[in-house]
Amino acid sequence: MQQRQLGPFTVSAIGLGCMNICHAYGPPVPEADAERLLLTALDAGVTHFDTAALYGFGASETLVGKVLAPHRSRFTLASKCGLFGADLKGDGQLVRVIDGRPATLRANCEAALQRLRTDVIDLYYLHRWDKQVPVEDSVGALADLVREGKIRSIGLSEVSAATLRRAHAVHPIAAVQTEYSLWTRNPEIAVLDACRELGTAFVAFSPVARGFLCGPLDTSAFDAKDIRRTMPRFAPDNFVANQRLLSPYLAIAQEVGCSPAQLAIAWLLHKAPHILPIPGTSRVDHLLDNLGADAVRLSPDVMARLEALINNKTVAGNRYTEQANREVDTEVF
């Protein structure tokens, strides 16, 4: 597989997002299936695994640690802090919390090290900037963890170019992670260029547009807890409008000779050398299909046609709800 720079690390150009095994798109997969997925990815050449405290409220980190700790020297490990599950009422029910205070980030890290069964996390992101805490304070706390040898590098998730620059002035930022695909083009406003200028890698999550760019979807079949049920682009009217983009997109994939998912990931790989997509999946067949994007070559003409077909003006609906939009710091069209 192609190799790209992720801060100080050289990793596979396509990584694995480890949210889907326990969070967001349905019930957690059986542990044996998660183990098979992670080990298949490792054996297929994936050397960039991305997880977070939020995913399954620690379940993803626990699985990654249990399965991959014996192979720790073979891959670069990324996780995230500052967005997690907390028992606020003392009734055993965990709720989603954003907290970027230094003491909280340190506690997040200590817990993550235990779950991941490692002495050091290679890349540790501030999962959300807590707007009640200056980003300089949160990054300063992570810089202390670098100096103590608990983490090797610092990342930020869902931030603007301006916030990236503020953080980078405190400590070098190895990576910014934000949603980026043909149907979510917000990074093109400013943060992609800022990353290029600062030498920061850009990690693209949801590169296949929450599954939309994999082929026809039946939204009525989504699990009751599937996060797409609340996403505006999957609301009935918007989804009908967006489906009109799919047929010409699938025709381009057929013309290129690749799967729809491969086309979406290959588009990202062709956009710039500092972009690293991390498609997530719970299925081995989808994993192997995604990794096949590494061999897909797209002409400038195909790139231009894709971008003219699916972009911020042709996609109906916002990527997030109003509440979720308030929690992120990314630029918007």
C-alpha–C-alpha distance, residues 118 and 68, integer Å: 10
C-alpha count within 13 angstroms, C-beta hemisphere, residue 191: 31
Please report which helix (H) or strand (E) contains residue 63, including its range: helix 59-68
pLDDT of residue 92: 87
- In the numeric block, which tokens belong to residue 266? 């290959």
Indicate if the pLDDT at residue 270 is higher than 90. yes
- In the numeric block, which tokens belong to residue 286? 């989808």
When computed from its CA atoms, the radius of gyration of the chain, rounded to whole angstroms, is 19
pLDDT of residue 38: 98
Domain spans of the chain, in order of start: 3-327
Each residue's pLDDT tens digit, 153-171 = 999 999 999 999 999 999 9
Residue 55 falls in the annotated catalytic set: yes
Name the superfamily (CATH) of residues 3-327: NADP-dependent oxidoreductase domain (3.20.20.100)
- In the numeric block, which tokens belong to residue 205? 């999550």
Each residue's pLDDT tens digit, 310-331 = 999 999 999 999 999 999 999 9
Burial class from Cβ neighbours inside 10 Å (0-12, 13-18, 19+) for residue 330 reads buried
C-alpha–C-alpha distance, residues 260 and 62, integer Å: 32
- Burial call 190-225: b when 16+ CB within 10 Å, e when fewer: ebbebbeeeebbbbbbbbbbbbbbbeebeeeebeee
pLDDT of residue 258: 98
Which entry of 25, 55, 180, 249 is annotated as an active-site residue? 55
DSSP string, 26-54: SSPPPHHHHHHHHHHHHHTT--EEE--ST
Residue entry with tokens 């990815």 = 41
pLDDT of residue 324: 95
pLDDT of residue 231: 97
Indicate if the pLDDT at residue 23 is higher than 90. no
Indicate if the pLDDT at residue 89 is higher than 90. no
Average pLDDT of the chain?
97
C-alpha–C-alpha distance, residues 197 and 180, integer Å: 19
Each residue's pLDDT tens digit, 188-235 = 999 999 999 999 999 999 999 999 999 999 999 999 989 999 999 999
CB 131 within 8 A of CB 90: no
User: DSSP class of residue 183?
Assistant: T
pLDDT of residue 58: 96
Q: What are phi and psi of 90, to 5 degrees?
A: 70, 20
Each residue's pLDDT tens digit, 288-302 = 999 999 999 999 999
pLDDT band at 26 (very low <50, low <70, confident <90, very high): confident
**What average pLDDT score do residues 242-267 get?**
98
Q: Helix, strand or coil for residue 124?
A: strand
For residue 156, list its beta bridge partners. 126, 176
**What average pLDDT score do residues 175-186 get?**
98
